Amino acid sequence: MKEIRIRKLRKEDADEIAGIYGAITQKPVEIDFRRIVEKDSRRNDASFVAELEGKVVGFMTSYILTLGFGIEKSAWIATLGVNPEFMGQGIGERLSKEILQYYKKEGIKNVYTSVRWDSTDLLSFFKTLGFDRSNFINLRKNLE
């Protein structure tokens, strides 16, 4: 396999990220990725893309949360996506390790993420990285 390069997210990556998201969900992309990626690219958080021959093939966004219902300053992995054509090649792991290393250097002690109960592949992926259940339960209120 050719060399995968991990780099910081840039606002120019929005269209390729939207394409990956659409390929994963197999639904039309209705999210304004340009606005989201532009905002993420300006923050000092760790958001990275995996690039192969100049093409974005994966991404992971995260942010620092300083006030979070009784927990100390921590990081949250918000989104992970790998182009389905490149899944199983260690891209998600490389992105994760880059983010975890970044936050460790920043003195962050805990990194969190949320995964749907029925996303067994994603649950397994995060378990292989050392993630485990936290003390939190996600709550939701439907406003429709």
Sketch the domain layout of the chain as residue ranges.
4-128
Here the tokens at position 108 are: 């962050």
Q: Are 59 and 17 in contact (CB under 8 A)?
A: yes
Q: 48 by DSSP, 3-state: which?
A: strand
Give the span between the Cα atoms of 63 and 37, in whole angstroms: 12
Whole-number CA gyration radius for the chain: 15
Candidate CATH numbers 3.90.1300.10, 3.40.630.30, 3.50.50.60, 3.20.20.140; the one for domain 4-128 = 3.40.630.30
Per-residue pLDDT of the chain (144 residues; tens, 9 = 90+): 578 999 999 889 988 998 998 898 887 777 776 777 667 666 667 899 999 999 999 999 998 888 766 678 889 999 999 999 999 999 999 999 999 999 999 999 999 998 888 888 889 999 999 999 888 777 788 898
